[in-house]
Amino acid sequence: MTELVAEKLSVHAGKTALVAQADFRVGAGEFVALIGPNGAGKTSLLRASLGLEKANGGCASIDGDNCAELAPMQRARRVAYLPQQRPLAWPNTVRDVVALGRYAYGAAPGRLGNQDADAVERALMKCGLKELASRHTDTLSGGELARVHFARALASDAGLLVADEPVAALDPRHQFRIMDIIHQYVAAGGGALVVLHDISLAARYASRMIWMKDTRIICDGPVEDTLTAERMADVFGVRAKVNGRAVEIEGAA
C-alpha cells in the first residue's frame, strides 16, 4: 500500500513557473485523473513529485520518504512511471521489454530470477499479451505497444502507478482496454495517478479528479463534485453539458 504525497511543490524553468504550490495525495485503491489543458504543468508536476525533476520548493514523499533523496531503484519498486514519450530504441521482443520492469530488482532481459519471471508472466497475462510475448516490438500496432508499456509498468509490482497520457492517440477500443487495465490494478489495491485529456473517459473511470490550470491545482475531489459545466468553461474554455459523470463537449466557449 503506497501513498504519494506532494506538499507545496513548485517547479520553475528559469524564471517561468511550471508548477506552483501544488498539494495532493494519492493512495491505495484510488484512481485519480489529473486533468488540465496543455501547458498547465501536469507533466512537470508528475516528474517533480517522483523526484525525476528538481523541485524548486516544497517536497514530495512516497510513504514518508522524500522522493528527491530516494535512490532510483528504491523509488522504482514503489512507483511505476509511464512517461508521455515512450520510444523503443531497439526491436526487442515483447517479453524482453516487459522484463525491463524488473530492472529495480536487479534483473535484466534474459537474466530473470523465478520471482522476476513470475511477475513478467503475470503482467503479460493482465495486459492480454500472452500470444504476442515473442513478437518483436517493431511489428506491433500502437494499441498493442501501449499494452506492452503497461505490462512493463505492472511487472514492477509497484503499489502506485503514475501514467502520463497513456491513451493518447489510441482508438476507442484500445482506450477502453487500457483504462480497464488501470481499473483492475486499482481494484487489486494499487493507486493510480493518470493524466487524461479525454474528460468523458476520465469521468467514467476515475474515483477522483485533480484539475490543473496555469501551474496551479485549482480543484481536487470526487468526479461528481468537481465535474461541472462552469469548471469545464473555466479550465478548458469549452461549453459542455454535464450530467452526473457524463459530459458532452459542445464547442469552444
Partner 1 sequence: MTANRALTPALLVACIIAVFIACLLGSTPMPIDRVLLALFGSGDVSDQIVIWQIRLPRALAAFATGAALGISGAALQGLLRNPLAEPGVLGVSASASLFATFSLYYGLVALSPWVLPIAAMLGALAATALIALAAIKTRSVVTLILVGVGISAFAGAAMSLLMNLAPTPFTLSDMINWMLGSVANRSFRELGFAAPFILGGSAILLASRRGLSALTLGEEAASGIGLNLRNQRILTVLGAGIATGGSVALAGAIGFVGIVAPHIVRPFVGHDPARSLIPSALLAGLILVLADIGVRILPTVNELKLGVVAALIGAPAFIWIAMGRRAIHD
52 lies in the binding site for partner 1 (CB under 8 A)? yes
| Interface with partner 1 in residues 110-169 (CB under 8 A) | 110, 136, 149, 152, 156
Choice between 75 and 213, CB closer to partner 1: 75
Residue 92 touching partner 1 (CB under 8 A):
yes
Q: How far is the CB of 13 from partner 1 (least distance, A)?
A: 15
Residues touching partner 1, count (CB under 8 A)? 35
Residue 103 interacting with partner 1 (CB under 8 A): yes
190 binds partner 1 (CB under 8 A): no
Report d(CA 185, CA 122) in Å as an integer.
12
Asked if 91 is part of the footprint of partner 1 (rule: CB under 8 A), the reply reads yes
* CB 51 within 8 Å of CB 75: yes
The secondary structure element, H or E, covering residue 209 is strand 208-213
Tell me if 230 sits within 8 A of 236, measured CB to CB. no
The rounded distance, in Å, linking the Cα atoms of 27 and 98 is 25
Rule CB under 8 A: say whether 249 interacts with partner 1. no
Q: Which of 17, 22, 35, 50 binds partner 1 (CB under 8 A)?
A: 50
The minimum distance between CB 83 and partner 1, in angstroms, equals: 4
Q: Which three cell numbers stand for residue 69?
A: 533523496
- Contact with partner 1 (CB under 8 A) among 6, 34, 35, 76: 76
Task: Provide the angle, in degrees to the nearest 10, between the axes of the packed helices 114-126 and 172-187.
Answer: 130
Q: Is 231 in the site for partner 1 (CB under 8 A)?
A: no
Closest CA relative to residue 155, chosen from 209, 94, 234: 94
Q: How far is CA 78 from the centre of its chain?
A: 14
Binder among 26, 45, 62, 97 for partner 1 (CB under 8 A): 97
* Burial environment of residue 232 by CB neighbours within 10 A (0 to 12, 13 to 18, 19 or more): buried
14 interacts with partner 1 by CB under 8 A: no
> Would you say 193 and 27 are in contact if contact means Cβ atoms under 8 Å apart?
no
Residue 106, C-beta contacts closer than 8 angstroms, at least 6 positions apart: none
Segment near partner 1 (CB under 8 A); pick from 57-65, 93-101, 179-187, 190-198: 93-101
Alpha carbon distance 192, 23 (integer Å): 16
Select 76 or 192, whichever has its Cβ closest to partner 1. 76
Give the residues lining the site for partner 1 (CB under 8 A).
Answer: 50, 52, 71-77, 80-83, 85-93, 96-97, 100-101, 103-104, 108-110, 136, 149, 152, 156
